[in-house]
Protein backbone atom coordinates (compact mmCIF):
# COMPACT_ATOMS: atom_id res chain seq x y z
CA UNK A 1 0.00 0.00 0.00
CA UNK A 2 1.40 3.36 -0.97
CA UNK A 3 1.84 6.22 1.50
CA UNK A 4 -0.89 8.27 -0.21
CA UNK A 5 -3.43 5.46 0.04
CA UNK A 6 -2.46 4.81 3.66
CA UNK A 7 -2.94 8.49 4.58
CA UNK A 8 -6.29 8.54 2.77
CA UNK A 9 -7.34 5.39 4.66
CA UNK A 10 -6.36 6.94 8.02
CA UNK A 11 -8.19 10.20 7.23
CA UNK A 12 -11.36 8.34 6.19
CA UNK A 13 -11.15 6.17 9.32
CA UNK A 14 -10.77 9.26 11.53
CA UNK A 15 -13.74 10.94 9.85
CA UNK A 16 -15.87 7.82 10.36
CA UNK A 17 -14.85 7.63 14.04
CA UNK A 18 -15.61 11.34 14.50
CA UNK A 19 -19.05 10.94 12.93
CA UNK A 20 -19.86 7.90 15.08
CA UNK A 21 -18.71 9.71 18.25
CA UNK A 22 -20.76 12.77 17.26
CA UNK A 23 -23.89 10.69 16.65
CA UNK A 24 -23.47 8.89 19.99
CA UNK A 25 -23.02 12.19 21.84
CA UNK A 26 -26.09 13.63 20.12
CA UNK A 27 -28.18 10.58 21.08
CA UNK A 28 -26.96 10.78 24.67
CA UNK A 29 -27.72 14.51 24.85
CA UNK A 30 -31.20 14.00 23.38
CA UNK A 31 -31.91 11.15 25.81
CA UNK A 32 -30.76 13.36 28.70
CA UNK A 33 -32.94 16.24 27.50
CA UNK A 34 -35.93 13.90 27.14
CA UNK A 35 -35.46 12.56 30.66
CA UNK A 36 -35.01 16.06 32.08
CA UNK A 37 -38.11 17.24 30.23
CA UNK A 38 -40.19 14.33 31.45
CA UNK A 39 -39.01 14.05 35.07
CA UNK A 40 -38.25 17.73 35.82
CA UNK A 41 -37.25 18.19 39.45
CA UNK A 42 -37.26 14.43 39.98
CA UNK A 43 -34.43 14.23 37.41
CA UNK A 44 -32.39 16.71 39.45
CA UNK A 45 -33.18 14.93 42.73
CA UNK A 46 -32.14 11.59 41.23
CA UNK A 47 -28.87 12.98 39.85
CA UNK A 48 -28.08 14.43 43.28
CA UNK A 49 -29.04 11.21 45.07
CA UNK A 50 -27.08 8.95 42.70
CA UNK A 51 -24.05 11.20 42.53
CA UNK A 52 -23.67 11.31 38.76
CA UNK A 53 -25.78 11.91 35.69
CA UNK A 54 -25.13 8.60 33.95
CA UNK A 55 -26.15 6.49 36.95
CA UNK A 56 -29.21 8.66 37.54
CA UNK A 57 -30.31 8.38 33.93
CA UNK A 58 -29.93 4.61 34.05
CA UNK A 59 -32.11 4.64 37.17
CA UNK A 60 -34.78 6.79 35.47
CA UNK A 61 -34.77 4.57 32.39
CA UNK A 62 -35.11 1.51 34.66
CA UNK A 63 -38.12 3.17 36.32
CA UNK A 64 -39.77 3.70 32.96
CA UNK A 65 -39.13 0.11 31.97
CA UNK A 66 -40.41 -1.24 35.31
CA UNK A 67 -43.49 1.01 35.10
CA UNK A 68 -44.29 -0.33 31.64
CA UNK A 69 -44.39 -3.84 33.10
CA UNK A 70 -47.57 -3.23 35.10
CA UNK A 71 -50.98 -1.98 34.05
CA UNK A 72 -52.13 1.28 35.61
CA UNK A 73 -55.85 1.65 35.20
CA UNK A 74 -58.39 4.41 35.64
CA UNK A 75 -60.71 4.26 38.59
CA UNK A 76 -64.35 3.43 38.18
CA UNK A 77 -66.37 6.69 38.56
CA UNK A 78 -68.14 5.40 41.67
CA UNK A 79 -64.79 4.52 43.29
CA UNK A 80 -63.43 7.97 42.42
CA UNK A 81 -66.44 9.47 44.18
CA UNK A 82 -65.93 7.24 47.23
CA UNK A 83 -62.27 8.21 47.41
CA UNK A 84 -63.13 11.90 47.04
CA UNK A 85 -65.58 11.58 49.95
CA UNK A 86 -62.95 9.76 52.02
CA UNK A 87 -60.55 12.62 51.32
CA UNK A 88 -63.12 15.15 52.53
CA UNK A 89 -63.54 13.12 55.74
CA UNK A 90 -59.77 13.03 56.32
CA UNK A 91 -59.52 16.74 55.62
CA UNK A 92 -62.42 17.46 58.00
CA UNK A 93 -60.69 15.48 60.73
CA UNK A 94 -57.65 17.79 60.58
CA UNK A 95 -59.02 20.45 62.94
CA UNK A 96 -59.66 17.99 65.77
CA UNK A 97 -56.79 15.57 65.18
CA UNK A 98 -54.13 16.66 62.64
CA UNK A 99 -52.00 13.55 63.16
CA UNK A 100 -54.91 11.19 62.51
CA UNK A 101 -55.91 13.23 59.42
CA UNK A 102 -52.41 12.95 57.95
CA UNK A 103 -52.31 9.24 58.73
CA UNK A 104 -55.67 8.81 57.00
CA UNK A 105 -54.49 10.85 54.00
CA UNK A 106 -51.38 8.68 53.62
CA UNK A 107 -53.43 5.49 53.86
CA UNK A 108 -55.92 6.83 51.33
CA UNK A 109 -53.21 7.78 48.83
CA UNK A 110 -51.67 4.31 49.14
CA UNK A 111 -55.08 2.68 48.69
CA UNK A 112 -55.81 4.69 45.56
CA UNK A 113 -52.35 3.90 44.19
CA UNK A 114 -52.91 0.21 44.82
CA UNK A 115 -56.34 0.24 43.22
CA UNK A 116 -54.94 2.04 40.19
CA UNK A 117 -52.36 -0.74 39.83
CA UNK A 118 -49.19 0.69 41.35
CA UNK A 119 -47.22 -1.70 43.56
CA UNK A 120 -47.27 -0.41 47.15
CA UNK A 121 -44.91 -2.78 48.96
CA UNK A 122 -41.94 -0.47 49.43
CA UNK A 123 -42.19 3.33 49.71
CA UNK A 124 -39.07 4.17 47.68
CA UNK A 125 -40.05 1.79 44.89
CA UNK A 126 -43.60 3.15 45.02
CA UNK A 127 -42.39 6.75 44.75
CA UNK A 128 -40.06 5.80 41.88
CA UNK A 129 -42.91 4.06 40.05
CA UNK A 130 -45.35 6.92 40.48
CA UNK A 131 -42.65 9.39 39.38
CA UNK A 132 -42.91 8.03 35.84
CA UNK A 133 -46.55 9.11 35.53
CA UNK A 134 -46.61 12.01 37.99
CA UNK A 135 -43.10 13.49 38.15
CA UNK A 136 -44.36 16.97 38.99
CA UNK A 137 -45.89 15.85 42.32
CA UNK A 138 -43.71 12.94 43.44
CA UNK A 139 -41.54 15.40 45.36
CA UNK A 140 -44.64 16.48 47.28
CA UNK A 141 -45.39 12.84 48.02
CA UNK A 142 -41.87 12.18 49.29
CA UNK A 143 -42.01 15.25 51.54
CA UNK A 144 -45.48 14.37 52.86
CA UNK A 145 -44.26 10.89 53.81
CA UNK A 146 -41.19 12.40 55.51
CA UNK A 147 -43.49 14.64 57.56
CA UNK A 148 -45.79 11.68 58.34
CA UNK A 149 -42.81 9.72 59.64
CA UNK A 150 -41.70 12.69 61.74
CA UNK A 151 -45.24 12.93 63.09
CA UNK A 152 -45.10 9.26 64.08
CA UNK A 153 -42.06 10.13 66.20
CA UNK A 154 -43.86 13.18 67.66
CA UNK A 155 -41.55 15.56 65.78
CA UNK A 156 -43.96 17.39 63.45
CA UNK A 157 -45.69 20.67 64.16
CA UNK A 158 -49.29 21.36 63.23
CA UNK A 159 -48.06 23.56 60.39
CA UNK A 160 -45.91 20.73 59.05
CA UNK A 161 -48.91 18.40 59.27
CA UNK A 162 -50.98 20.94 57.33
CA UNK A 163 -48.22 21.00 54.72
CA UNK A 164 -48.28 17.19 54.54
CA UNK A 165 -52.04 17.28 53.84
CA UNK A 166 -51.53 19.79 51.04
CA UNK A 167 -48.72 17.70 49.56
CA UNK A 168 -50.72 14.45 49.77
CA UNK A 169 -53.58 16.29 48.09
CA UNK A 170 -51.44 17.15 45.06
CA UNK A 171 -50.78 13.48 44.28
CA UNK A 172 -54.25 12.36 45.36
CA UNK A 173 -55.88 14.78 42.90
CA UNK A 174 -53.77 13.47 40.04
CA UNK A 175 -54.44 9.85 40.96
CA UNK A 176 -58.19 10.50 40.78
CA UNK A 177 -57.97 12.13 37.34
CA UNK A 178 -59.12 10.28 34.29
CA UNK A 179 -56.95 10.25 31.19
CA UNK A 180 -59.36 12.80 29.66
CA UNK A 181 -58.90 15.10 32.67
CA UNK A 182 -55.13 14.86 32.35
CA UNK A 183 -55.24 15.68 28.63
CA UNK A 184 -57.43 18.75 29.25
CA UNK A 185 -55.01 19.93 31.94
CA UNK A 186 -52.03 19.57 29.58
CA UNK A 187 -53.83 21.52 26.83
CA UNK A 188 -54.49 24.52 29.10
188 residues of the chain, pLDDT tens digit each:
688 787 878 777 777 777 777 777 777 688 888 888 889 999 999 999 999 999 999 999 999 999 999 999 999 999 999 999 999 999 999 999 999 999 999 999 999 999 999 998 899 999 999 999 999 999 999 999 999 999 999 999 999 999 999 999 999 999 998 655 444 444 44
Same domain, 127 and 51: no
* Residue 84 and residue 167 in one domain: yes
| Enclosing domain of residue 34 | 3-67
Using an 8 Å Cβ cutoff, are 83 and 177 in contact?
no
Residues 11 and 37 in one domain: yes
* Burial tier of 65 (Cβ tally within 10 Å: 0-12, 13-18, 19+): exposed
Q: Is residue 157 part of a domain?
A: yes
Amino acid sequence: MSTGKFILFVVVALVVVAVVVGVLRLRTRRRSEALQGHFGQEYDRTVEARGDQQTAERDLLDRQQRRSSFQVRELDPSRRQEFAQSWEQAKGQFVDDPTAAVTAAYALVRTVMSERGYPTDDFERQADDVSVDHPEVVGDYREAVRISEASGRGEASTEELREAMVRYRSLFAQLLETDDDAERTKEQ
